[in-house]
Amino acid sequence: MIDPRSESKSDSASIERSPNELAAEYGIERDAIDLFAWVDRWFDLLSERHGKTVIRQPPHQIMRRLRDEALPISRFVTSMKLPGLSVRCALSTGGANYDATVTVRGYRDADFKIEVVGTDREEDGLRTKLLDETGWAPGHGPIKQVRGQGVVAEMEAYDGEFPNRDQAQKAIEAYAQKSAKPYTNDTQLLIVANLCLPLTLDEWQSVMTTVRAGINGAAGPFAAVYLMNRFDHVTQTVYYRPNLDERTQEASLTMTTSSNTTVPEKLIPTTLPKPRRAWRFIKIAVVVLAILAWASLPSWNAYRWPISKRAFLAKDNWTIADEGKSGEIVYPWTWFFPYTHSILAVDLDHVRPHDATPGFYLAPVMSIVRDADKNETLTTLFMCVFDTKGGRIADVFQGTLDGKLADQVAAMPSLPGDFMDHLTWRDGTGEGWGNVMKAIRWRTSTETAP
């Protein structure tokens, strides 16, 4: 990469380089990075000699081309430079209907031309002149050059969105002006507008919506149309033609988002997305509720029993529970999960003391979960801890699952063969959502347990 200051202060004579020297160097083909540095170096040289006028009111035509064409083109092509790609650009020296040619080589090839057009009008030049001469200039209102008086301007009030609306309309007019001329089908148009800073996402979207509505790119002569903000060189794609030949199309599928960042056009929506903070919050809330629901309803989500009720009851060592033992589980969110839960059978051959809860017992239980809203029934199998003191089932609940309980379950050889395949045990250490087997109270009748 060329040092942008390498030639700027070699000697005092360097400051006196004439516009002819600039013109002589102007049309040389350069690497995109070298072009970037070359433009900056000339701005440094000219600024030291002419001050701010090199930006506001260039005294020579070649300086105006440096500001209005070379500067935005250098930023635009530099944004295309990616690892594995060689991007070279040659500025047009005049007489052609384009301002630069670009050659891209590497893992993709592209050749195309760039035509630049600004949104500045005569009144914008007068405002700039008035600002330089007096230190102030109205942003809106009638302005004209009067002989003997200089620039005369009147101030008019306008709303805060007017400048960007005005620039969007001027961009449409600039496109109409250029599209009336003939161009080859590999020419891309770069519109340079003076948009306000900082430009928010909503403001960009408003500008792009207006510009796209006023530009019928499909009917125009350009392979692609871009809108660049002069003040920060952020660029958005207005239009690109999808049926270009491969070389030109690859180059057209680029949107510059900053002076050194590119995004493939195919990843860009036709309009800028609106902020979706509310939707993002809603999605996060739904995910959290889903996790909580899954954690509080283990028999519904984790312990699905894949076979039918008839096949299940036909297995050995299972006893059908009394009708009176069915009841309704009280879930933490009864308003959100309209399910009822009924015991069908208990494996009495594998009742074991529950080590973690003295006086309680552990047994495999087969049950049915009913969804009242959908009128659906799901057969489930889970481990149940219950108390049989006094010959009655008092409170039946699912206790916190720990390592000991998991070991007891694993030691039950007569459980159905695929029981463990459909039952996902997790330790109840309390970390994260591990402690999901929360106590769920069971309201039962006072009938004797089987």
Whether 100 contacts 93, CB under 8 Å:
no
Q: 89 pLDDT exceeds 90?
A: yes
Q: 358 pLDDT exceeds 70?
A: no
User: Do 187 and 332 share a domain, yes or no?
Assistant: no
Top-confidence residue, 418 or 374:
374
**Residue 449 belongs to a domain:** no
**Residue 1 belongs to a domain:** no
Q: 203 pLDDT exceeds 70?
A: yes
Which residues are CB-contacts of 306 (< 8 A; sequence separation ≥ 6)?
418, 422
**pLDDT 10s digits, 41-83:** 888 887 777 666 556 666 677 888 888 899 999 999 998 898 8
User: Do 71 and 151 share a domain, yes or no?
Assistant: yes
User: Do 244 and 326 share a domain, yes or no?
Assistant: no
**Residue 276 belongs to a domain:** no
Q: Let me know if 247 is exposed, middle or buried by CB neighbors in 10 A (0-12, 13-18, 19+).
A: middle
User: Do 76 and 139 share a domain, yes or no?
Assistant: yes
User: Do 249 and 305 share a domain, yes or no?
Assistant: no
Domain span including residue 44:
12-267
What is the average pLDDT value for the chain, to the nearest integer?
Answer: 64
Per-residue pLDDT averaged across 355-361, rounded?
60
User: Do 221 and 330 share a domain, yes or no?
Assistant: no
**Residue 174 belongs to a domain:** yes
User: Do 260 and 307 share a domain, yes or no?
Assistant: no
User: Do 215 and 352 share a domain, yes or no?
Assistant: no
Q: 103 pLDDT exceeds 90?
A: yes
d(CA 394, CA 93): 96
**Residue 248 belongs to a domain:** yes
User: Do 262 and 334 share a domain, yes or no?
Assistant: no
With a pLDDT cut of 70, the percent of the chain lying above it is 47
From 225, 244, 267, the end of a domain falls on: 267
Q: How many CB atoms lie within 10 A of CB 314?
A: 10
When mean pLDDT is compared over 34-38, 150-154, 423-427, the highest value belongs to 34-38
Whether 86 contacts 105, CB under 8 Å:
yes
When mean pLDDT is compared over 172-181, 371-380, 432-441, the highest value belongs to 172-181
User: Measured over all CA atoms, what is the biggest interatomic distance in the chain, rounded to whole angstroms?
Assistant: 114
**Residue 272 belongs to a domain:** no
- Residue owning tokens 């219950």: 386
Q: What's residue 258's pLDDT?
A: 39
**Residue 275 belongs to a domain:** no
Can you count the helices (H) and strands (E) in the chain? 13, 17
User: Do 330 and 251 share a domain, yes or no?
Assistant: no
- How many structural domains does the chain have? 2
- Scored b (16 or more CB within 10 A) or e, 71-93 reads bbbbbbbbbbbeeeeebbbebbe
Top-confidence residue, 217 or 32:
32
Top-confidence residue, 444 or 181:
181
User: Do 319 and 362 share a domain, yes or no?
Assistant: yes
Top-confidence residue, 311 or 155:
155
**Residue 280 belongs to a domain:** no
pTM of the model: 0.50
User: Do 101 and 196 share a domain, yes or no?
Assistant: yes
Q: 167 pLDDT exceeds 80?
A: yes
Whether 87 contacts 167, CB under 8 Å:
no
Q: 295 pLDDT exceeds 70?
A: no
